[in-house]
């Protein structure tokens, strides 16, 4: 075994013992009616394997081979490995896909007798990064002297996230559950003191303090989303048990890869298509099918030209009829699922999907597929969505790093992994059981994985960098994307009764039900969050104390409790954000604030208002007419500042953010002015602290967050042309993001945010010290 982070601790898992099948599985076998070869037994009964599958440990000096758990001694002096063990041969269901012009390139060996359009030197694999070291003739220290046979699964590491983070950072992250528990306890202690002292003040002064109660409600409203997000970290100590696996050889299942698109640039789609066609997977075992909902003549022509190079590439565009709902992406995917049954070879045993802009790595299928093969109840496995055009500083928090690196691994450990819409591979029989992709939802991916969990299937999150796409390159597209996600999540939860009861989710575990309910609640909570934040300046402008207490000692204890809660929260954030990056986490916290009005508005229009009052189920729609794009991230083509500001203020309702910021600052000024009319310095300080300047200066963080759309309009980030972010093979045209583009560059905005946090923390510390001298 190698050190943590090395890639030398290899275990090999057999796909199936060829001598027998497990008849105890509670799911029937899905036989391919188009397969006529008796030698494809390994995958005809793929889903009848024992449910208690385990990863057998290889004894020292031995390598486990497929398919009879036979061991070959590779110790010095032993016979060299290389004897074929039950190699399967024959044709595959996709054998008829190969046109006659490629017949001369058929490749046959003792392990696989299926035809391939590649010459013998290229047939097994194309990736030189992950699979070449598995061959014995290759001199490499990657696997030392170990090698494997066709049809096996190699364990490259005991953790699939070893590439993302390791060492002291991983050990420090184990403190996150304890710090989160401490932070939550101190928060509620602080709120308990606030409530207790308000009651005491009312009894002592025989009056009520309604504004103090409102301010407590505001603080709780702002804190609840953070608390609920952090709640999941309490399970960070639960091990996922998700190793880093690779599927080896040519004896592999068949896969239909759908590339869904609708109006995207042809060049963008073609980069995804080329990378999908160039998978290091036997070409006669997978198809790439472009599902074009935009009916682009240029894309159709380019795809058919590209099919001369990749004979397993197809173009499909479904018919749409006026007045007949087409159900967007879900309808497009279902069309593809039906269409493959009419194609040569029939439907594949698995289906995979890629968004139009998501460029897969060459080893994508071989990395995801093993997680489905080792467990017959695993319905879907999905890698993270990563991006290569995120602007410096990510001012709009468009990356999904916190969700990808913190939330999803914890959810996966609890058996609640979501389908995130691209890069996933799914069993056809699991889709058949739930009736294919559910229609009538803006979040068909979340709905699909939820229905699968409700039917008793499993889902997996494969924490490897296996695909890279693009974030929306303008403010309006970003709003539309995120509001669509929120509406889709809430809509799915409403239709499934928040996953609390019903036949469609009857097999869900408690953790799965709690997760679905929590994320729907967080989306709906945006409505209450907006109302509570709007109440803050109203309370301030009335000039009444926000903090009520009966004695000066009670005020001191409130300050100390506030300080303890703040410091514990800062420490928790530093540790909790480690996997995603500290600055990513801070951007996410501010994003929840400034984005909440847009999400709240769309939710109200979608689920509260009737149609005659403007209600409609859709994502954010800008007001007015946008005659041309702003090109805000192109230094040469971007529209002038006045036009960018007008568009964001008027069309994208930035006037709400401006109004809120100025209203709050006016309220703070008026409240502070009244405090300076006090007679003594001590009274002035107490008045300021108990009114607008109660630590940790919440109004500063909220106003700064609400001003983000305006800073974006005034000084938008510059992003390089997409071609400059890619490394393209001049011969094949295949492109992958370069190393630099996969990371988010630092920006001055991150420094400003950190300054604010440091300032408010130091201010709270100063008030703590002052409390000992009051």
Tally of CA atoms within 13 A in the half-sphere of 4 that contains its CB: 11
Rounded CA-CA distance 755/760 in Å is 9
The predicted-structure confidence for 3-49, as pLDDT tens digits, reads as follows 333 433 444 444 443 333 333 333 333 333 333 333 333 333 333 33
Q: Note the pLDDT of residue 237.
A: 73
Q: Note the pLDDT of residue 215.
A: 86
Domains and CATH numbers, the chain: 1-17+55-81+127-158 (no CATH), 170-236+524-623+632-737+746-771 (no CATH), 250-471 (3.90.550.10)
- 14, containing H or E segment: strand 11-14
Distances from the Cα of 736 to the Cα of 162, 183, 271, 745, angstroms:
22, 42, 8, 19
Structure tokens, 703: 């106003």
Q: Note the pLDDT of residue 763.
A: 96
CB of 413 closer than 8 Å to CB of 240 = yes
Phi-psi region of 452 (alpha: psi -120 to 50; beta: other; left: phi over 0): alpha
Residue stretches of the chain with pLDDT short of 50: 1-150, 625-627
- The dihedral through the CA atoms of 204, 699, 579, 240 has a sign that is positive
- The dihedral through the CA atoms of 616, 619, 620, 621 has a sign that is negative
Q: Note the pLDDT of residue 310.
A: 96
Q: Note the pLDDT of residue 306.
A: 95
CB of 368 closer than 8 Å to CB of 460 = no
DSSP assignment of 522-577: HHHHHHHHHHHHHHHHHHHHTT--SS--SSHHHHHHHHHHHHHHHHHHHHHHHHHT
- Beta-bridge partners for 380: 426, 459
The model's pTM is 0.79
Rounded CA-CA distance 541/676 in Å is 15
109 alpha-carbon distance from chain centroid:
41
Helix (H, G, I), strand (E, B) or coil at 155: strand
The predicted-structure confidence for 542-552, as pLDDT tens digits, reads as follows 888 889 999 99
What is the DSSP-derived secondary structure letter of residue 426? E
Beta-strand relationship, 286-292 and 313-316 = parallel
Among candidate residues 426, 472, 482, 468, the one with its CA nearest the CA of residue 451: 426
Q: Taking every pair of C-alpha atoms in the chain, what is the biggest distance, in angstroms?
A: 99
Q: Note the pLDDT of residue 733.
A: 94
Q: Note the pLDDT of residue 73.
A: 34
The predicted-structure confidence for 132-156, as pLDDT tens digits, reads as follows 444 333 333 333 333 334 458 898 9
């Amino acid at each position: 075994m190698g050190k943590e982070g090395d890639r030398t601790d290899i275990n090999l898992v057999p796909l199936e013992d060829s001598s027998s099948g497990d008849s105890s599985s509670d799911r029937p076998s899905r036989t391919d009616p188009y397969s006529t070869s008796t030698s494809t037994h390994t995958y005809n009964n793929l889903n009848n394997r024992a449910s208690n599958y385990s990863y057998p440990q290889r004894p020292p000096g031995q390598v486990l081979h497929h398919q009879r758990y036979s061991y070959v001694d590779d110790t010095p002096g032993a016979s060299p490995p290389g004897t074929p063990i039950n190699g399967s041969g024959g044709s595959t269901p996709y054998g008829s896909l190969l046109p006659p012009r490629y017949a001369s390139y058929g490749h046959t060996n003792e392990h696989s007798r299926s035809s391939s359009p590649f010459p013998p030197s290229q047939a097994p694999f194309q990736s030189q990064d992950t699979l070449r070291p598995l061959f014995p003739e290759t001199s490499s220290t990657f696997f030392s002297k170990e090698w494997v046979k066709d049809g096996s699964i190699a364990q490259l590491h005991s953790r699939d996230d070893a590439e993302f983070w390791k060492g002291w950072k991983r050990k420090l992250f184990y403190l996150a559950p304890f710090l989160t528990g401490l932070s939550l306890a101190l928060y509620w202690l602080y709120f308990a003191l606030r409530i207790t002292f308000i009651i005491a003040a009312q009894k002592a002064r025989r009056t009520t303090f309604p504004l103090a109660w409102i301010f407590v409600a505001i603080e709780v409203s702002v804190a609840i989303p953070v608390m609920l997000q952090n709640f999941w970290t309490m399970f960070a100590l639960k091990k996922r048990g998700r190793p880093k696996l690779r599927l080896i050889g040519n004896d592999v299942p068949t896969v239909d890869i759908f590339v869904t698109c609708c109006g995207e640039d042809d060049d963008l789609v073609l980069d995804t298509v080329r990378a999908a066609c160039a998978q290091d997977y036997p070409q006669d075992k997978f198809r790439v099918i472009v599902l074009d909902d935009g009916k682009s003549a240029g894309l159709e022509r380019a795809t058919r030209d590209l099919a001369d190079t990749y004979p397993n590439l197809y173009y499909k565009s479904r018919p749409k009829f006026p007045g007949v709902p087409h159900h967007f992406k879900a309808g497009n995917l279902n069309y593809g699922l039906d269409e493959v049954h009419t194609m040569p070879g029939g439907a594949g045993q698995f289906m995979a999907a890629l968004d139009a802009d998501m460029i897969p790595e060459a080893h994508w299928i071989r990395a995801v597929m093993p997680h489905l093969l080792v467990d017959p109840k695993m319905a879907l496995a999905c890698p993270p969505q990563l991006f290569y055009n995120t602007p410096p500083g990510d001012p709009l928090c468009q990356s999904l790093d916190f969700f990808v690196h913190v939330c999803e691994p914890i959810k996966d450990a609890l058996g609640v992994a979501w389908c995130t819409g691209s890069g996933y591979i799914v069993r056809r029989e699991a889709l058949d059981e739930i009736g294919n992709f559910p229609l009538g939802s803006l979040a068909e991916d979340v709905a699909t994985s939820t229905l699968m969990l409700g039917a008793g299937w499993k889902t997996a999150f494969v924490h490897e960098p296996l695909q890279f796409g693009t974030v929306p390159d303008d403010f309006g597209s970003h709003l539309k994307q995120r509001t669509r996600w929120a509406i889709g999540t809430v809509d799915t939860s409403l239709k499934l009764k928040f996953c609390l009861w019903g036949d469609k989710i009857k097999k869900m575990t408690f953790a799965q039900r709690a997760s679905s309910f929590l994320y729907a609640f967080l989306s709906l909570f945006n409505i209450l969050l907006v109302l509570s934040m709007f109440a803050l300046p109203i309370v301030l402008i009335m000039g009444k104390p926000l903090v009520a207490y009966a004695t000066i000692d009670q005020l001191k204890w409130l300050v100390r409790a506030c300080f303890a809660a703040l410091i514990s929260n800062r420490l928790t954030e530093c540790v909790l954000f480690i996997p995603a990056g500290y600055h990513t986490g801070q951007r996410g916290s501010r994003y929840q604030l400034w984005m909440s009005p847009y999400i709240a508005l769309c939710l109200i229009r979608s689920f509260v208002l009737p149609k005659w009052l403007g209600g409609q189920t859709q994502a954010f729609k800008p007001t007015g007419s946008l005659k041309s794009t702003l090109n805000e991230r192109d230094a040469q083509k971007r529209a002038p500042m006045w036009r960018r500001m007008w568009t964001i203020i008027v069309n994208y309702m930035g006037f709400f953010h401006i109004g809120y910021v100025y209203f709050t600052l006016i309220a703070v000024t008026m409240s502070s002015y009244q405090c300076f009319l006090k007679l003594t310095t001590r009274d002035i300080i107490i008045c300021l602290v108990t009114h607008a300047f109660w630590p940790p200066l919440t109004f500063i963080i909220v106003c700064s967050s609400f001003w983000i759309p305006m800073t974006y309009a005034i000084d938008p980030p510059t992003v390089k042309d997409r071609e400059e972010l890619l490394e393209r093979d001049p011969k094949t045209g295949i492109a992958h993001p370069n190393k630099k583009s996969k990371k988010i560059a630092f920006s001055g905005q991150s420094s400003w945010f950190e300054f604010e946090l440091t300032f408010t923390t130091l201010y709270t510390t100063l008030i703590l010290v002052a409390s000992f001298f009051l």
